[in-house]
Amino acid sequence: MASVLNVSAYLFTRVDDPHSLRPVMRESAVAAGLKGTILLAQEGINLFLAGDPRAVRGFVDALCSDRRFAELTTKESWSSRQPFGRMLVKVKREIIRMDHPMIRPDVGRAPAVDPVTLRRWLDQGRDDDGREVVVLDTRNAFEVDYGSFAGALDWRLERFTQFPDAAAAAAADLRGKTVVSYCTGGIRCEKAALYLREEGVEAFQLEGGILGYFEQVGGAHWTGDCFVFDEREAVGSDLAPRSALA
């Protein structure tokens, strides 16, 4: 029986004291019996946690009582065993490294498209203004190989810091089209869409990423599974693990 709650969440928000926040957050998570990883940076928070459902949700509720994290929303899935070996809280320069400090989702987000709308666009083969829709995978190549949207643009990235150069090289071909950038949970495509817009591309981010899409509309237009960064290895469009933790 799948009794372990797994949550992922991120939020671009100004955090002036990530180093002082780190030990407080770790102590609270450990006391709740949680395992996983929390990344803190001045630009926000990124977390992956698993444990008893009440403990996980209680920790998230307490976190959201801090006004900086009030808009944090989680994506939930389940496993029969704990997919993490320990509880880590780290301070980083960026919660997702791009090496372009002028790209600041904590100051202003790129426009987003929700999963239901994206499915409708893909069903009809165009957006609501009749423009060609391009879905752009912002993940690393090995993740894409587990599964992707049918016909998605894949630049075979080895790391996200390669995205800006790839985007600049492809920008001329993407102008005049509606580009929807996507990733596992939404964090990479937040920065990706902003960068594309700097290059003059009409870019949107997929709200909630692949996991949010699975949760709302299932596997329509998707082929394969979705890689996740824990011992589950990957989840299907039903959000069930594809490893021994199922």
User: Any idea what DSSP says for residue 157?
Assistant: B
Give me the catalytic one of 64, 183, 189, 226: 183
C-beta separation of 205 from 192 below 8 A: yes
CB 141 within 8 A of CB 154: yes
Question: Helix (H, G, I), strand (E, B), or coil: what is residue 33?
Answer: coil
Q: Specify the amino acid at residue 1.
A: M
What one-character-per-residue DSSP string does 43-78 give?
A: TEEEEEEEE-HHHHHHHHHHHHTSGGGTT---EEEE
Instruction: Output the CA angle 84-86-89, nearest 5 degrees.
Output: 110
The C-alpha atoms of residue 157 and residue 225 are separated, in whole angstroms, by: 18
Strand partners for 240: none
Closest C-alpha to 36, from 68, 59, 18, 13: 59
Q: Measuring CA to CA, how many Å separate 239 from each of 79, 210, 215, 230?
A: 10, 10, 7, 14
Neighbours of 51 (CB within 10 A): 23
Catalytic (active site) residue 183: yes
Residue 137 one-letter amino acid:
D
Which residues form the catalytic set? 183
